[in-house]
A and B are shown apart, each in its own frame.
Chain A
C-alpha cells in the first residue's frame, strides 16, 4: 500500500489541502505536492499503460526523466496530453486522466498485446503485414494507427485559452540548473561581477541535495541552500528564475529557457509560458544526474521505482510507495533510501547488492537492522498492477535457485548518469568514465562558440562527480572558469566544503542476474514507455542492426517521450555486450533539443490570432473594409479583390466594376505599388543596368514602362519609371515588390558598383496613390480643380506636380487599363481625405471603386502582362513579345548575358498569344495545350499553357492569354486544352489585345 506518512514532507504544506481528480475520482493532496506524489499518497500506484503492450505502468521516477506517469491534464481549451505527473505541481481543481487504454485504466483491451508480446518482438511490423497487399491499406495500417499514440488528441476545434510570449535576454554567464552545483557556480561567477542568469526547471532550489543530505561548511546542506539563494537574490548582477527549464543549447551561445508561468495556477493573469531566448557568453550546465534502473525481469511492474525517487517521495512529500520494500543496487547511494525508509517505519526487507562488498553506508543500514545480501540479484518481480513478490537469486548466474519474498515495492539503483543533454545539443563530446560506468562531458571537446572557443562548462554531477564535496568544488571551479571566459576576473574566494558519507565504488550491472536466461531477458525492460526489453536489443544486434542508431530505430529504444533518459545507457550496454564491443566504441545516439518537451504555444510565442503575421494596410484600408472589400492577401499587404455590395456575388461585383470603369469612372487604391527614389550623378547609368530598357535617356517630366530581369535572365519585376529631375528618378515596382527591388538595387550598389554615386530611398508608404480611371477621369479631376490635367498639359506617359483640389499631389498620366487614366499620389496622411473627395466629386460621373480582379481583367483585355501571371520565374521578356523593351543600344544590363544561352534562344520556347475559346466560354486557369503523342516517359506532349483567363464583361466572352509553342506564327489555329473536368476546351490563337486595339481610349 502506498501512503502518506503523518510526518515528513519538506515541500508540502499540510495546512493547505488541495482537491483534484484522477480518472474522475476526487482525491486530496497538499500544497507543494506534485501530481505524482499526491497520487501515490492516495495509493494510486497505477498511472498509465505502456505504448506497445499496454502494460500497467506506475511512476518510476520523481522528476523530468519520468517515462510512465503521463496524464491528460485539464479540460476543453486547456486540455493537454502527455503531461508528466512528476513535474506537474498540484493545484486546486486539477483534473487528470490516465492514457492509452480502453475502456479504462484497470481493464484495457489493448493489454492483450502483453499476452502476445512474444509474437511482437522489436521490429515485428517490418516482417509482417506484408501480404496480402490490400490488407495493409484497409486492415493492418488502420489497426496500427488506431493503436498508435499515447495521450488523447485535444478536441479538433479546441482553441488554446492561454497566451504565450518570448523574451530576449543577454547575459555573461547562464547557469542551467538550480541545484547546489548551479547555485554555487552562479555565486562563483557572480562574485567576479559578471552578469549571471540562473534558471531552474522546478519550483525549488537546491536540487537533490536536501534529500541526499550532508553538510556544507559544517551546516546542513538545506541551510546552505537557503543562505545561498538569499545571497544570490541580493546580488544586482544575478537573475534567478525557477520553473524555467534550460530546453536547448544552440550555436553562438544561444539557449532556450522554457518558463512555465501559470501551469501551477491556471487562473493567473498573463501568459502561460514564456520562451526565453538567451544569449550567453558562457553557459554552465549544472543539470545534475539521473539514476539508472536495473534490468531485471519484471522491473516494469508498478511499485518498482528508482531508489532515489522513493527517497524523494519520502523526504519531499512524506509519501512511501510501499510497506514492505526490497532494494536492489550496485552502488552505495541506494542505502540512503534504505536507511531513510527504515527510519520512517517502512519494513525494508532486504537490500540485494550485486557487489560482493559494500561500503560504510551498508554498515549503517545493517546497524539499523536491515538485511544486506551481497552478491545477490533480483531474478524477477511478480505482480500485475502492483508488486506482489520478488524472486531473489545470485547475481552471478542465470537466475536459478530463487528465493521468493513477498513485498509491495521495489527500489532499484543501477548507478548514476550525468545529464549531458545540454552539453551535447550543440556538439559537446562525451567520454566514458570507467569508474562510474557513465558518459560524462569531455572537457577537451566542448561545444564551440562564435570565437571557436568552448562556451559550455559542465558543473557538479552533470560533469561526473557524485559526492557533495566534489560537486561543490567542481561547480565553484566551473563558475569561476565561466566568468573568466566571459571576460571577468573571478574572486579568489574558497569553495565551500561539502561533506557526506563516503561511498564504496559502484560496479556496473547491466543485467540482473548477469547471465539471465532468455525468458528473464524477455521480461527485463529497458524502455518502459515503448516496451523495449533486453531481448529486443539483443535481437536487433543479432539481425545486423549494429549501429546504435540502427538499434534505436529498429527497437524504438529511447524514442519515447522521455527520449531515453532512463534507458539509453542500459540499452547501450546491452548492445555493446551483444556485439562483444566496449560501450564507448558503440557510442551514443545524438542528443537533440529540447531537454524535455516544450509546448508548441511557447515556441510560437505571441504570434497568434491578429498578430500571427503583419497585415500591411494602406491609408484607405478601413474605408475598404467598411465598403464590402473582399480581401486578397498580396505579400503581406491586404488588397481589395472586389467591393461586394449587399446581394451581390463576388463575381457580380467584379463584372460591375469592369464595366463601370470602362464606361464611367473607377478608382483603384494603388498605394501598395512600390516607389523608389533613385538619385545621383550615376543614377541613369545605374538604372540602365537595372532595367532592360534605357532609362538614362528618359526626359525630365516623362514616364517609361520598364522591365527588370534577374542576372539569370528571368523577369522579376516591372513598373513605370518617372524622371523627376536631372539626377533623380522615381521607380514604381509591383505590389510587394518594393522591399525586394529596393534590396536588389542596394545589393548591386553596395557589392558591385560601390564607386557609383547613387542613393536609393524607399518612399512607397509616403504616398497614398489612387488610380483614377475611365472616360470620366479627367472630368472628376477638373471638377476638383487645381492643376491642368488636359491632354496638352499632361500628355500620356508624363507626370506633373501640383494641386488637385486642396491636395498637394503628383499626377502621373499612365494607364494599366487602356482607359484615360491618372495615378495621383498624395501624402499618406491625406489619403483617406483625397479618396473621399474623389468619391464625392465623382458621384455625378458614376464613380465606383474597383479591386484587383477588375484591374486584372482590364489589363488582360488590353493584352498587358502581369508579373506573377504571365511570368512565373521561368519566363524571359522574349517569351512575352517584349523585345521592344530590351535595349539594343546598351552593352550590358542584368540578364542580358543570360539571354544568350542556348535554351533562352531556342525557337521552340513557348510565346505569348491571346486565346479565344471557340464557344466564348472561359478557359480553365492553368490549363495546358496538348500536341500529338506522348514523350519518352509516357506523358502527353504539351505545347503551351494558359497564363491568364477571365470573363470579360465588356466583351461578353472569355478571354485568355497563354504561352504557346511557335504561338505568334500560328495565329488563327485552334488548340486543345484538356480540362480537369474531362472536357476538352478548344481555343483559337489570336492577338493578345482584345479591346481597343488602337489605343484610342487612353489617348484622349
Chain B
C-alpha cells in the first residue's frame, strides 16, 4: 500500500487567522439507534467516549465522537486505526440495525486558529459564533459559503472544520480569502 495523501497535503496559510489542512483523519459514519446500548458500547470501545447528546462533540485531538443527527454519529479515530476500529464496530453491532462505514478519505479537515478565528468563520457560515453561543464541546453542521461543512472547537480559539474532499480546494481558498490581512471584523474580541 502506498502512502495515503490527504486532499491538500497539509497546505497552510497565515492571515488574520491561521488556516491549516490537518491531513488524514480517521472517520466512521455510524448510523443507528443512538439510545441502543450496543451502539453506546461500540462508540465507547472505539473512542473512549459515550454517545454524544444533541449537537455534542466529544473530541480529544484525533479521537472522539460527534453528534450528526438523531440517528447518525461521526466517530473519529487515528487514521491508521480506522480499519481495525471499523471491523470491531461492525462486529459489535452485527446484531442490531446499524450502519458503520469508513468515510476518512471522503473528507478534508482544516484547523482555523488564532484570536480572529471566530471572525473568519463568521464570514462563511450563518452561525452565531459568539462564545456564549458556540464553544468547545459543540458541533455545528451548516454550510461554508456554498458547500456543506461541519465544525467543532479544539479550544477557545481553534476550529476544526470538516468538508467533503472534493470541495477541499474551494474551502481552503475560502478560508484564505476570509482570513486575508486587514479583514479583521472584531465582532467577537472586543
A160 to chain B minimum Cβ distance, whole angstroms, is 15
B108: shortest Cβ distance to chain A, in Å?
9
Report the Cα distance A757→B133, complex, angstroms. 35
A720 within 8 A of B: no
In the complex, the chain B residue whose C-beta lies closest to that of A233 is B190
- Contact across chains for B101 and A763 when beta carbons are under 8 A apart: yes
B residues less than 8 Å from A619 (CB atoms): 5, 7, 165
| Structural contact, B145 and A611, CB atoms closer than 8 A | yes
For chain A, residues 657 to 684, give those with C-beta under 8 angstroms from any C-beta of chain B.
Answer: 677, 679-681
A807-B180 CB under 8 A given contacts A610-B173, A761-B31:
no
**Contacting residues, chain A, for B6 (C-beta < 8 A):** 829
Q: How far is the CA of A779 from the CA of B107 in the complex (A)?
A: 33
Known: A611-B174, A618-B166, A828-B165. A806 touches B1 (CB 8 A): yes
Query: Is A24 in the interface zone, CB < 8 Å from B?
Result: no
Q: Which of A170, A615, A834 contacts B169 (CB 8 A)?
A: A615
Which residues of A sit under 8 angstroms from B147, Cβ to Cβ? 614
The reply to whether the CB of B87 lies closer than 8 angstroms to some CB of chain A is: no
For residue A165, CB closer than 8 A to chain B, the reply is yes
A679 to B99, CA, bound (A): 7
CB of B177 within 8 A of CB of A163, answer yes
Tell whether, in the assembled complex, residue A167 and residue B123 are in contact, meaning their CB atoms are under 8 Å apart. Answer: yes
Q: Specify which chain A residues have a CB less than 8 angstroms from the CB of B180 in the assembled complex.
A: 163, 270-271
**Which of B99, B173, B185 meets A759, CB within 8 Å?**
B99
Residues in B whose Cβ lies below 8 Å from that of A677: 99, 101
Check if A239 sits within 8 Å of B190, measured CB to CB. Answer: yes
Asked whether A590 is an interface residue with its Cβ less than 8 Å from the other chain, the reply is no
Q: How many angstroms from the CA of A14 to the CA of B186 in the assembled complex?
A: 31
| B165 in contact with A806 (CB, 8 Å) | no
Query: What class of interface size applies to chain B in its complex with A?
Result: 35 or more
Let me know if B178 and A763 touch, CB within 8 A.
no
For the complex, what is the distance from the CA of A163 to the CA of B128, rounded to whole Å? 24
**Taking each of A167, A615, A757, which has the highest tally of chain B beta carbons within 10 Å of its own beta carbon?**
A167
Report A959-971 CB contacts with B as 1/0, cut-off 8 Å.
Answer: 0000000000000
Provided the pairs A677-B99, A766-B105, A829-B6 are in contact, do residues A165 and B178 lie with their beta carbons within 8 angstroms?
A: yes
Q: Are A767 and B105 in contact (CB under 8 A)?
A: yes
A617: CB under 8 A from chain B? yes
Q: Which residues of A contact B5 (CB under 8 A)?
A: 619, 829-830, 832-833
Contact with A along B88-110 (1 / 0, CB 8 A): 00000000011101111111000
Give the chain A neighbours of B173 by CB distance below 8 A.
Answer: 610-611
> How long is the Cα–Cα vector from A751 to B5 in the complex, in angstroms?
39
Residue of B nearest to A677 (CB): B101
Q: Is A126 among interface residues, defined by CB-CB distance under 8 A? A: no
B54 CB-CB contact with A under 8 Å:
no
Residue of A nearest to B186 (CB): A239
Which residues from A are CB-within-8-Å of B103? 761, 763, 766
Q: Which of B102, B119, B128, B190 contacts A766 (CB 8 A)?
A: B102
Is the pair A806, B2 in contact by a Cβ cutoff of 8 Å? yes
Do B106 and A274 have beta carbons less than 8 Å apart?
no
- Contact status of A236 and B185, CB under 8 A, knowing A614-B167, A761-B31, A807-B2: no
Contact A606 B170 (CB under 8 A): no
A269 at the interface (CB under 8 A from B): yes
**B166–A833 CB distance below 8 A:** no
CB distance from A604 to the nearest CB of B (A): 11
Contact call A166/B123, Cβ cutoff below 8 A: yes
Per the bound structure, the CA–CA distance linking A166 and B169 in Å amounts to: 20
A167 & B146 in contact (Cβ 8 Å cutoff)? no
Bound Cα distance A791, B147 (Å):
43
Partner of A616, one of B29, B98, B145, B166: B166
Residues of B within 8 A of A169 (CB): 122, 187
A108 within 8 A of B: no
Whether B24 is near chain A, meaning CB under 8 Å from some CB there, is yes
Q: Is A268 an interface residue (CB 8 A)?
A: yes
> Hey, which chain B residues are within 8 Å of A806, CB to CB?
1-2
Residue pair B4, A167 in contact (C-beta under 8 Å): no
B61 at interface (Cβ–Cβ under 8 A)?
no
Distance between Cα atoms of A548 and B133 in the complex (Å): 47
Q: For A828, list chain B residues within 8 Å (CB).
A: 105-106, 165
Check B1 against A807 for contact (C-beta < 8 Å). yes
* List of A residues within 8 angstroms of B164 by Cβ: 616, 765
Report if A617-B102 is in contact (Cβ < 8 Å); known contacts: A167-B187, A274-B185: no
Interchain CA distance A168-B103 in the complex, whole Å: 30
Q: Given A610-B173, A833-B2, decide whether A766 and B106 contact each other with a Cβ distance below 8 A.
A: yes
Give the shortest distance, in Å, between B39 (CB) and chain A (any CB).
Answer: 12
Query: For B165, what are the chain A residues with a Cβ–Cβ distance below 8 Å?
Result: 619, 765, 828
- Taking CB atoms, residues of chain A closer than 8 Å to B4 are 827, 829-830
Pick from A269, A277, A606: contact of B181, CB under 8 Å: A269
Tell me whether A764 is interfacial, beta carbon within 8 Å: yes
* B123-A681 in contact (CB<8A): no
Nearest opposing residue in chain B for A828, CB measure: B105
Q: Does A637 contact B (CB under 8 A)?
A: yes
Q: Which of B24, B123, B190 contacts A236 (CB 8 A)?
A: B190
Residue numbers in B under 8 Å from A610 (CB-CB): 173
Q: Are A606 and B178 in contact (CB under 8 A)?
A: yes
A106–chain B nearest beta-carbon distance, Å: 41
Write out the residue numbers on chain B whose beta carbons fall within 8 Å of the beta carbon of A239: 187, 190
A613 near B: Cβ within 8 Å? yes
Judged by a CB distance under 8 angstroms, whether A808 is at the interface is: yes
Whole-angstrom CA separation of A807 from B10 in the bound complex = 23
Minimum CB–CB distance for A874 against chain B, Å: 30
Q: Give chain B nearest CB distance to A108 CB in angstroms.
A: 41
Within 8 A of B (CB), among A279-332: 279
Q: Residue-by-residue, is A152-176 near B (CB-CB < 8 Å gives 1, otherwise 0)?
A: 0000000000010111111000000
- Residue on A nearest B82 in the bound complex, by CB: A827
A607 near B145: Cβ-Cβ < 8 Å:
yes
> Which chain A residue lies CB-closest to B144?
A614
- Give complex CA distance A615, B182 in Å: 27
- Per-position 1/0 for B104-132, Cβ under 8 A of A: 11110000000000010011111110100
- Name, among A170, A268, A277, A807, the residue most crowded by chain B CB atoms within 10 Å (CB to CB): A170
Known: A761-B31, A765-B106. A617 touches B166 (CB 8 A): yes
Cα A585 to Cα B141 with chains together (Å): 51
By the criterion CB–CB under 8 Å, are B167 and A616 in contact?
yes
In the complex formed, the residue of B with least CB distance to A833 is B2
Q: Which residue of A lies closest to B185 (CB)?
A: A167
Which residues on B sit within 8 Å (CB–CB) of A759?
31-32, 71, 97-99
| Chain A residues whose C-beta falls within 8 Å of the C-beta of B190 in the assembled complex | 236, 239
A680 touches B97 (CB 8 A): yes
Determine whether the beta carbon of B174 is less than 8 Å from that of A606. yes
Q: How far is the CA of A167 from the CA of B177 in the complex (A)?
A: 13
Residues of A within 8 A of B24 (CB): 829
Indicate whether A269 sits within 8 Å of B182 (C-beta atoms), given known contacts A681-B97, A763-B101, A828-B105.
Answer: yes
Q: Chain A residues near B128 (CB, 8 Å)?
A: 168, 170, 279
Min Cβ gap B181→A in Å is 5
A-chain residues with CB within 8 Å of residue B122 when the two chains form the complex? 167-169
Q: How far is the CA of A767 from the CA of B31 in the complex (A)?
A: 20
Bound: A271/B180 CA distance, A: 9
Verify B133–A827 contact, CB threshold 8 A: no
Contact with A606, one of B126, B133, B177 (Cβ below 8 angstroms) = B177
Within the complex, what minimum Cβ distance (angstroms) separates A728 from chain B?
8
The 5 closest A-B pairs by CB, nearest first: A270-B182, A269-B182, A829-B4, A616-B166, A765-B106
10 contacts between A and B (CB under 8 A): A195-B130, A268-B182, A606-B177, A607-B146, A614-B146, A617-B169, A619-B7, A619-B165, A765-B165, A834-B2
Residues of A that sit less than 8 Å from B by CB = 163, 165-170, 195, 236, 239, 268-271, 274, 277, 279, 606-607, 610-611, 613-619, 637, 677, 679-681, 757, 759, 761, 763-767, 806-808, 827-830, 832-834, 837
**Given A637-B166, A829-B24, 12 more pairs with CB closer than 8 A:** A167-B119, A239-B187, A269-B181, A615-B170, A617-B166, A680-B99, A757-B97, A765-B105, A766-B104, A827-B4, A830-B1, A833-B5
